[in-house]
Chains A and B, each alone.
Chain A
Amino acid sequence: MQIRIEKRLETPKIVYIIIPVASILASLLFVGVLLLAIGVNPLEAYGVMLSRAFGTKFGFTELFVKTAPIILTGLAVSIPLRAGLWNIGAEGQLYMGAFAASFVALYFSPPVIVLPLMVLFGLLAGMAWASIPGFLKAKFDLNEIISTLLLNYVAIYWVEYLVYGPMRGKEVYNFPYSDLFNDYAILPRFFGTRFHVGVIISFLIAIAIYILITKTSYGFAVKIVGSNPKAAEFAGISRKKIIISTMLIGGAIAGFAGMMEVSGLHLRLRAAVSPGYGYTGIPVALLARGNPLFVMVAAFLFGLLYVGGSAMQTTFGIPVAIVDVFQALVVLFIIGGDFFTRYSISFGDKGEKYEGEKG
């Protein structure tokens, strides 16, 4: 008995639909077992999750509010990924964006220019933070996975330092918060909910990035670098420029996400700006295979997870960490399943099966 693994020449289309769906179901099953282990009925928990997201106006708008930053971090990971780079630092870039925007919000005037400046500074801070690993990669071929990740810690400690120290608010008791922003530094909201204009902008950014990377010569160059860096060089494309520029674009988008979170949601700088959206960007980018349109879809799935996760936490006391578990499982199941799209597997002794085909 022997297992034979062979590359498929063509993959049945249906496989591409079955695998994600089956992966999500399998992950739900797995997480269900974990929930059972701590004495929670998984069906009830999933019920709460869905009814929170789709049952109320608040929950439904909240779904969008949580999806928006995930779209942005998903893009922040996707763009460098198309050039073959792993930007694990979206979280830190987001924090730096949040910091820069808050700085503008708290200390700049006149009011008219504050919001635009917050956007600008958020973008620039995210870019600046991403430029460090980008430059180190381009110049010294320093592993960008490790450097982007480590810089997250630095950024988070930096923001913590600020909200415990120089930027701590006057009336926040012992919380690590800055003062609330003035009205002119807050993104407009709709429907009497937390649904802010940043959500719409996030979707627009995704579409713009889609056009950039699929329709322009820049996008084509990025694709060549991602496919074969040597061929890119042979084609006269500067790999270094692509490395740095994709990191900068990614960083800028993540920085904008940070600005959006403080200006649209928290309305102040705080220690926990993001519950790990930067990391969620990784599975999102992977599921979307770097395509910004699919990023929106995948981000929606994870947005649902965050809304549901906090509902499960308040109702059952389930740690939000379950969201991480779910994310990891979905991706693992999908890439495991991917194997079946690339290879066909058959069992049996050598030869016999093929003898028939020969004749």
Chain B
Amino acid sequence: MGVELTSNLDSGNKTGNNKTESKKILEMRGITKIFPGVIANDGVDLEVNVGEIHGLLGENGAGKTTLMSILYGLYRPDGGEIIFDREKVEFHSPGDAIRAGIGMVHQHFMLVSKMTALNNILLGYRTPKDPLMDYEWARKRIEKLSKTYGIEVDFDEQIINMSVGEQQRVEILKALFRDVKLLILDEPTSVLTPIETERLFKALRRMSEEGLTVIFITHKLREALEVTDRITVLRRGKNVGTLITKDTNERDLARLMVGREVEMIIEKKRKESKEGKAVLRIEAVHARNDRGLPALKGINLIVKQGEILGLAGVSGNGQKELEEVIVGTRKIEKGRLIFNGEDITDYGVARRVALGISCIPEDRIETGMAPSLTVEENLILRDYVKFTKNGFMDFEVIEKHAEKLIDEFGIRTPSPKVAARTLSGGNIQRLIIARELSRNPLLLVASQPTRGLDVAGIEYVRKRLISFAEEGKAVLLISEDLEEIMQLSDRIVVIYEGEIRGVFEREEADLEKIGILMSGGALEN
């Protein structure tokens, strides 16, 4: 034990002598993490100063979340060391990290949805009356924190009844409650409206003023530039540079992040005529969500030939239900669906597929594929009836079909016969797009089609959607990414709490107006 003590003293002396190092709260040196078949982090160094907002920028799959999960004790690194608050640390579990003073708000919130906000904040925490729950004491403490940072939540509400923005605030309070010195936020804005994002940034700046350090993971350049003090860019698991925010710009960051000059904007050519035959007509549709509550309250929409109709909104406002209503997996309570002039309200899924309705579902792995089936089988998942002869599967044709699609859509797989679950996220996405487009449909419902993809993948998917629409087909693009909606759509509609709140031609749409409608606000005339 004596040895460890001296080594701590040593490092203490060293940092004491060196002024620049004394400001550091975190140093990660040579962090390496290997997942089977993937090097997620390859000798990453990261230095973060006390009280700064440090951006961690990189494409999806660059290794940002892995690096932070290592720091938070969720993963063990295969190499490298971490110095936190002047001490060499080795976290074996998130519990260790929390005790050391590190908090993390994950991209997918780590909340128990059947518990109240208060119980979630207290989860695993030992209150003074432990093992009893000292709610009085906790309430007071949280109220104080709420005031200091301007983060408010309803303690007694269950998570399941909260909006995503509220849930995020619970997550942040959960960390602050534990007196963290360093707070990690993983893509915190991806689920927020522009207004909520502004509020979050304000809170982050308050934290920074109070001396708290924040690591802000993002792949959005603009946000990184707006809120951070310094930015570290990761590319393919490596640190490719740490920059001072005010000395850099979007273009440089983009080049660092992707490793080449990228044309970040792919825009759809304007449709020549605004008139077009309606492919899908949704008339006053009502539907309930899984919990039996009204999710769609009289939706009216028309998707026309040759256009991409963008549906903007924060997730959880009925987008998923709308997708399912069109696909046919969710019951319509009231209203009608007219497809190509035909009333399809009562048609089953298979019949709609046959008529030419395709869909890239929001939950790709949950609903879009059968993970234990092969790539080849997944490529015919929704069309398998077409690949039969007298009730028997026609394996020869299935194989040829798969080979063709794998080639055409560039699905990277060792063989058509491997289980689809072994594919990477981007390739699963390609698989689903291949399947859905290969049947030559008239309408494509694309839900969050680029979520989780890297830049090359995003480019690919967007180009596909555009060329599909330009062939005279119709696309309903459901996305939380406003930039994506703005770039691709001919028309934009905003959904809020199961209602359509506004329809814009692209030229008249602007971010601010849409942002207000997305948060439930009204536009002044």
Interface contact A236-B328, CB-CB below 8 Å: yes
B387 to chain A, nearest CB (A): 8
Interface contact B79-A355, CB-CB below 8 Å: yes
Given A9-B37, A217-B384, A234-B382, A350 and B392 touching (CB < 8 A)?
Answer: no
Given A9-B422, A233-B329, A234-B349, A224 and B391 touching (CB < 8 A)?
Answer: no
Cα–Cα, bound, A235→B350 (Å): 7
Contact string, B367-394, partner A, CB cutoff 8 A, digits 1/0? 1111111000100011011001001110
- Is B131 in the interface zone, CB < 8 Å from A? no
Cα–Cα, bound, A215→B398 (Å): 13
Cα–Cα, bound, A97→B351 (Å): 39
Given A6-B36, A220-B384, A351 and B78 touching (CB < 8 A)?
Answer: yes
**Closest residue of A by beta carbon distance from B380:** A220
Cα–Cα, bound, A227→B378 (Å): 11
Cα–Cα, bound, A10→B293 (Å): 45
Interface contact B36-A216, CB-CB below 8 Å: no
Given A228-B370, A236-B328, A355 and B36 touching (CB < 8 A)?
Answer: no
Interface contact A358-B79, CB-CB below 8 Å: yes
Interface contact A235-B391, CB-CB below 8 Å: no
Collect the chain B residues with CB atoms within 8 Å of residue A224's CB: 370, 373, 381, 384
- Is B327 in the interface zone, CB < 8 Å from A? yes
Interface contact B32-A354, CB-CB below 8 Å: yes
Cα–Cα, bound, A104→B77 (Å): 70
Cα–Cα, bound, A218→B361 (Å): 24
Cα–Cα, bound, A350→B34 (Å): 12
Collect the chain B residues with CB atoms within 8 Å of residue A235's CB: 349-350, 381-382, 384
Interface contact A236-B79, CB-CB below 8 Å: no
In the complex, chain B residues 332-386 whose Cβ is within 8 Å of any chain A Cβ? 348-353, 359, 361, 363, 366-373, 377, 381-382, 384-385
Interface contact B393-A234, CB-CB below 8 Å: no
Interface contact B388-A217, CB-CB below 8 Å: yes
A25 to chain B, nearest CB (A): 30
**Closest residue of A by beta carbon distance from B327:** A234
- Is A171 in the interface zone, CB < 8 Å from B? no
A326 to chain B, nearest CB (A): 30
B371 to chain A, nearest CB (A): 6
Contact string, A196-232, partner B, CB cutoff 8 A, digits 1/0? 0000000000000000000111111101100110111
Cα–Cα, bound, A237→B353 (Å): 12
Count the B residues whose beta carbon is within 8 Å of the partner chain — how many?
41
Collect the chain A residues with CB atoms within 8 Å of residue B388's CB: 216-217
- Is A7 in the interface zone, CB < 8 Å from B? yes
Cα–Cα, bound, A350→B43 (Å): 15
**Closest residue of B by beta carbon distance from A217:** B388
A49 to chain B, nearest CB (A): 37
**Closest residue of B by beta carbon distance from A2:** B76
Contact string, A346-358, partner B, CB cutoff 8 A, digits 1/0? 0000110011011
In the complex, chain B residues 279-337 whose Cβ is within 8 Å of any chain A Cβ? 327-329
Interface contact A234-B329, CB-CB below 8 Å: yes
**Closest residue of B by beta carbon distance from A354:** B78
- Is A189 in the interface zone, CB < 8 Å from B? no
Contact string, B211-230, partner A, CB cutoff 8 A, digits 1/0? 00000000000000000000
Collect the chain B residues with CB atoms within 8 Å of residue A9's CB: 36-37, 422
Interface contact B78-A217, CB-CB below 8 Å: no
Interface contact A231-B393, CB-CB below 8 Å: no
- Identify B382's interface contact among A227, A236, A351, A358, CB under 8 A: A236
Collect the chain B residues with CB atoms within 8 Å of residue A350's CB: 76-78, 90
Collect the chain A residues with CB atoms within 8 Å of residue B80's CB: 351
Interface contact B384-A230, CB-CB below 8 Å: no
- Identify A217's interface contact among B77, B348, B352, B392, CB under 8 A: B392
A238 to chain B, nearest CB (A): 8
Cα–Cα, bound, A216→B422 (Å): 25
**Closest residue of A by beta carbon distance from B330:** A233
- Is A8 in the interface zone, CB < 8 Å from B? yes
**Interchain Cβ contacts under 8 Å between A and B, 7 examples:** A6-B36, A217-B385, A223-B373, A351-B80, A354-B34, A354-B78, A355-B78
9 closest residue pairs by CB, A with B: A236-B350, A236-B349, A227-B370, A354-B78, A230-B367, A227-B372, A228-B370, A217-B388, A235-B382
